[in-house]
Every structure is written in C-alpha cells, then in structure tokens.
Amino acid sequence: MAIKRFCGTLVQLIVCFTLCHPCFGTESDIQCLKRLKLSVDPDNKLDWTFHNKTEGSICGFNGVECWHPNENKVLALHLGSMGLKGQFPDGLENCSSMNTLDLSSNSLSGPIPVDISKRLPFVTSLDLSYNSFSGQIPESLSNCSYLNAVSLQHNKLTGMIPWQLAALDRLAQFNVADNKLSGQIPASLSKFPPANFANQDLCGSPLSNCTATSGNRTGVIVGSAVGGAVITLIIVAVILFIFLRKMPAKKGKNVEENKWAKTIKGAKGVKVSMFEKSVSKMKLNDLTKATSDFTKENIIGTGRSGAISILQDAVDKSLIGKDNDAELLQCMKVACSCVLSSPNERPTMFEVYQLLRAVGEKYNFSAADDELTMQPQNSSADDELIVAN
C-alpha cells in the first residue's frame, strides 16, 4: 500500500516538473527578447510582437533561433545588420540557454560589459564586429569557457589584450583587427593569422617583435610621471639639506652680556684650576657682610639671578692698593661670570683664556707663558683662579 502511494506521488512530481519547466523557460526567454528590443531598437527595426503567448511563438521572430520550433527557448540570436543602436543589449542573461550571439554591423557603442560571463555563461560564438564598442576587452571574457569564436574587429577598443584569454582552450577563431589596442599579443593567441591583429600598437607573434617604442604607451607615460616625481622629491630634499647646513647657528639670548669678552685683546698665560663641584654655599649674613649690604660700590655686574657684588673677603688684603685693583676687578668679573646659574650665561673656556690674557697684557708676559696648564692641587692659591662648572 505504501509502495503504491509513493509511486503515485513520484508520477505526479514528474508530470508537474515536465509541465512547469517549459513554462519557466518560455517566460524567461520572452523577457530576454522584450528587454533586448527595448534597449537597442528605438526605430522598431525588429518586427517582434509578443501578443501570441503560444509555445514556440518567438521562434518565428526575425533573427531568433530556438532549440525546438515548438518551445520558446532561445538557442541563438542572429541580429547582424539589423540597424540596432545604443549600448550592449540588456536582458541577455534571461536567455539562459543561448550559445550564439551575433550583433555585428550595427551602431552599438559603449563598453563591453565587465560581467559578460554572467550574462552569457554558455555562449560559444560571440560576434560584436563592425560596431563602435569602446574601452578595454573585459578580463571576464575568459570565464566564458565554451567560446569557440570571438569576433571583435572594427571597433574602438583600447588597452591590451587580456592575458587571461589563454584559458579559452577551445578557441578556434579570434579577430581584433582595426581597433586601438596596444601592447604585446598573448602567446596563446599567436596561432591566429597576423591580419586578425592589425592594430597600430600591437606587437609580438604573429606580428613583429615588441620594441621599447611599440610597447604600452600608457605604461611608459605613467612610469615617466612616477620617475619624474621621485627625482623632484630627491632634488628638493638635497636643496633643503644644503640650505639647513648653511644656516648660521642660533645665537644665544644674552649676546650683549658676552659682548665685552670679544672686545678685549689677548694676554699672557694664567693658571686656572677647575673643580667638578660648584663653589660651596654661603649664608646670607656672610654675603651681606662681605658686600656691605650689597652697596652699589661693590656691584660689578647683574644677571638673571640678580646683582653680582665684590666679595671683599675673597681677595687677599695684601694685593689691594698696589695699583692692581683694576686687574683684580677684571679677574673677579671673570670669576663671577663663570659661576652664573644659567650655563648659557657663562663664558667658554676660550673666552676665559682671552679675558685673562687681556688682564696680564700690560705686564708683558712672554710667549712661553701663553698656555693654559692645570694647576696641581697642592700649588699656591695666590695666583690661582677658581672657576666652578
């Protein structure tokens, strides 16, 4: 009993599928032809009418070939020299069983669709010759794996022939003559006659060998532009580098404070001792006493930290009043400038040397004394200048 029910259901499904399949194909292919006519036949050159809904009605249309005369399923469209205008026709994907498309010798223009392999998945013969199609040959054409013949001659196609077309191993006819193609012909297509590649900028077998001037001009232009930009950047970088090197070093903020150091001429040798540690701290009471409450008579200069005064206890009393007071004052100024709080305000060692030479100039120091020496720690402090870092 169960077996009989199963067999009955199976028969019903088979009958239903048989009846519905041609109906699906009929509606789809009719939509294909309607959209095609609407997109490329503004002058009604195609005498197609869709009033008759019977099976096989579209098979009598001019240029339409069906798989079976009694079934509305398109096998091929032979629409050459039909006066069609516009771009690549719409709706061809609805002719899902079509394997031949001939649109030659019309007035069609625009690009070949990049998704042509989805619109014509089973096409074996494609003829778009003697139109005005422009742009590049789409790489996706290589996915139309059943192609036996491709005719694209006498259009306005540009760019290179895609090397991916090497995948079309069934290809027996290929013609791209009279276009604006450039670059090298893929080796897989060299088996076709030279006349099929008659373009000014194509090269390689079966045509003449490629040279630098007959290659892809677009690539040469782009490469030249990139190279020029890189060279320009390098030149600008070199100019900036040289300019920055020649710029004078930034001067210190307190140029006037050190100006006096450059106006004094050289003197003879003076012994200088350098200590790593700064001068020891003093109490305010000691400073007040030593400078007589910072009177104006004892001020020898000013800095960021305030006035600099003579420390009377810092000079040996035996040296005062012997016509050397001016020199002692100069030495004190040098010493005070060396212990300023800001490193930028302190004179360099060369400036100290020049200052001390100026101090001793009137005493006619000999050339043998004209050198700086490091004073041993056990030497006499009478002729030693103590400078803090």
The domain total for the chain is 3
Answer yes or no: do 176 and 323 share one domain: no
Answer yes or no: do 271 and 156 share one domain: no
Answer yes or no: do 101 and 179 share one domain: yes
Answer yes or no: do 180 and 265 share one domain: no
Answer yes or no: do 210 and 223 share one domain: no
Which residue, chain included where needed, has tokens 């080796």?
187
Q: 113-117, 151-155, 341-345, 379-383 — which is least confidently predicted?
A: 379-383
Answer yes or no: do 105 and 221 share one domain: no
Q: Does some domain include residue 6? A: no
Answer yes or no: do 81 and 208 share one domain: yes
Task: Note whether 83 and 58 are within 8 A (CB).
Answer: no
Q: What is the residue range of 229's domain?
A: 216-247
- DSSP bridge partners of 135: 157
Which residue, chain included where needed, has tokens 């307190």?
254
Answer yes or no: do 372 and 315 share one domain: yes
| Distance in angstroms (rounded) separating the CA atoms of residues 134 and 158 | 7
Hey, how many other C-beta atoms are within 10 angstroms of the C-beta on 16?
A: 10
Token couple for 387? 């400078």
| Distance in angstroms (rounded) separating the CA atoms of residues 357 and 344 | 22
Between strands 272-275 and 385-388, the pairing is parallel
Token couple for 113? 């669709």
Q: Does some domain include residue 235? A: yes
- Express each pLDDT in 189-238 by its tens digit: 999 999 999 998 999 989 888 885 444 555 666 777 888 888 988 998 88
Residues above pLDDT 90, as percent of the chain: 39
Answer yes or no: do 276 and 337 share one domain: yes
Answer yes or no: do 53 and 196 share one domain: yes
SS3 68: strand
The predicted model scores a pTM of 0.51
DSSP-H helix ranges across the chain: 2-40, 116-119, 217-246, 259-262, 284-290, 325-338, 349-359
- Express each pLDDT in 287-319 by its tens digit: 566 556 556 555 555 554 455 555 555 666 666
Q: Identify the residue with better confidence: 209 or 356.
A: 209
Q: Identify the residue with better confidence: 81 or 228.
A: 81
Answer yes or no: do 205 and 262 share one domain: no
Answer yes or no: do 282 and 365 share one domain: yes
